[in-house]
Amino acid sequence: MTLERLNEIKKLLNEYNYQYYVLDNPTVSDQEYDRLMQELQSIEAKHPEWITADSPSQRVGGEVLDGFQKVTHQRMMLSLGNIFNEDELREFDDRIREIYPQVEYVCELKIDGLAVSLVYANGQLSYGATRGDGTIGEDITHNVKTIKSIPLAIDYQGDFEVRGEIYMPKKSFEQLNEQRQKAGEPLFANPRNAAAGSVRQLDSRIAAKRGLDAFLYMVPTASDVGCQTHKEALDYISKLGFKTNPMTRVCANIQEVWQFIMEMTEKRQSLPYEIDGIVIKVNRLDWQERLGYTAKVPKWAIAYKFPAEEVITKLKDIIFTI
């Protein structure tokens, strides 16, 4: 474990980040990326003196392109910490139960799309923005309006922000790549990159044709509208007309969470959209608030990432393990 190896990983991850977030065109699998990121984090954990401000471990991900109006988020849009196995899940639970022994979790599918913030004022959609670097995103309102499941008006007059994931259903993705192949255009590597590439089109007629959809999963100001739990917030936005994911489940303890993860690992292939894991969130909003955040991720939520599957898909000249 040397400084040389650390610098090599940093260089690789920076390249992969650029290809993934800026070009929407990854050249390695997410598992390979996550493996390198874990290696980087474990070296940095042993040598904190080697951590630099520009290390890929120090950022939320997502660079802001030129060409779109920039939006400063009212509250930062963070990423999620990752875990990869049951032991790490139990460690997460132990940390929370040390403070809140009665904790209850909400498990959600981790939709493989891109995060969006929708802001409403006077009951009207005011703008939609990408996460960008977490502080500043891109204004993608013109494309958000083409997504039919996103309400343009809601029955709530105050300022209201709701966050979720824009995604491309598997079917739309297959059709899109078929069309692109026929037209001799480069193919998208996966639905996530196709969705990201679509919402970052300057011409909204293109996004409108791409069959995008959105699940909403978070209300930053949920307690201001009388919600006490995350589940109540999801029910609240569902009543306002937003699409929420029907698989979401409240779990009384970590055994039930693991059970949900196992069930969804089986169901994953049969879903009409891609998921890359399960998000586990503390249900009570006041406990979420008190648990707080690290610089980059919430302490009250974690993403369990699925292991790589045996299937190898050959896509153009890129080989992905999915």
> Which residues are annotated as catalytic?
110
Which residues between 189 and 218 bind ligand NAD (CB under 6 A)? 217
One DSSP character per residue, 277-294 reads EEEEEESBHHHHHHH-B-
- Assess 115 for contact with ligand NAD (CB under 6 A): yes
- Assess 110 for contact with ligand NAD (CB under 6 A): yes
Cβ-based neighbour number of residue 95 at 10 Å:
12
Give me the helix-helix angle, 170-182 and 191-199, nearest 10°.
80
Burial (CB count <10 Å: 0-12, 13-18, 19+), residue 241: middle
Which ranges in 163-217 belong to alpha helices (H)? 170-182, 191-199, 204-208
Which residue matches tokens 């494309």? 143
Q: Which of 14, 25, 41, 61 binds ligand NAD (CB under 6 A)?
A: 61
- Assess 303 for contact with ligand NAD (CB under 6 A): yes
Query: Can you give the C-alpha Rg of the chain in angstroms?
Result: 20
Residue placing its CB nearer to ligand NAD in the complex, 115 or 227:
115
- Assess 274 for contact with ligand NAD (CB under 6 A): no
Question: Which stretch, 23-31, 87-95, 142-150, 254-262, contacts ligand NAD (CB under 6 A)?
Answer: 23-31
- Assess 80 for contact with ligand NAD (CB under 6 A): yes
- Assess 30 for contact with ligand NAD (CB under 6 A): yes
Which residues between 240 and 269 bind ligand NAD (CB under 6 A)? none
Which residue matches tokens 């153009």? 316
Q: How far apart are CA 83 and CA 5, in angstroms?
A: 23
* Nearest one of 161, 118, 121 to 139, comparing CA atoms: 118
- Assess 108 for contact with ligand NAD (CB under 6 A): yes
Residue placing its CB nearer to ligand NAD in the complex, 44 or 108:
108
Q: Which of 16, 188, 242, 273 binds ligand NAD (CB under 6 A)?
A: 16
Q: How many whole angstroms from its chain centre is CA 217?
A: 10
Residue 304: enclosing H or E segment and its boundaries? Answer: strand 301-305
- Assess 279 for contact with ligand NAD (CB under 6 A): yes
Residue 42: enclosing H or E segment and its boundaries? Answer: helix 30-46
Question: Which stretch, 26-34, 140-148, 225-233, 256-264, contacts ligand NAD (CB under 6 A)?
Answer: 26-34
Using DSSP, state whether 35 is helix, strand or coil: helix
Q: How far apart are CA 238 and CA 234, in angstroms?
A: 6
Question: Which stretch, 3-11, 22-30, 138-146, 285-293, contacts ligand NAD (CB under 6 A)?
Answer: 22-30
- Assess 135 for contact with ligand NAD (CB under 6 A): no
Minimum CB–partner distance for residue 205 and ligand NAD (Å): 25
- Sign of torsion over alpha carbons 235, 240, 241, 242: negative
Minimum CB–partner distance for residue 105 and ligand NAD (Å): 12
- Assess 106 for contact with ligand NAD (CB under 6 A): no
- Residue 143 has φ and ψ, to the nearest 5°, of -85, -35
Minimum CB–partner distance for residue 300 and ligand NAD (Å): 11
- Assess 138 for contact with ligand NAD (CB under 6 A): no
Q: How many whole angstroms from its chain centre is CA 159?
A: 24
- Assess 56 for contact with ligand NAD (CB under 6 A): no
Minimum CB–partner distance for residue 64 and ligand NAD (Å): 14
In the complex, the residues that contact ligand NAD under the rule CB under 6 A are 16-17, 19-20, 26, 28-30, 33-34, 61, 79-80, 82, 108, 110-111, 114-115, 131, 165, 217, 279, 303
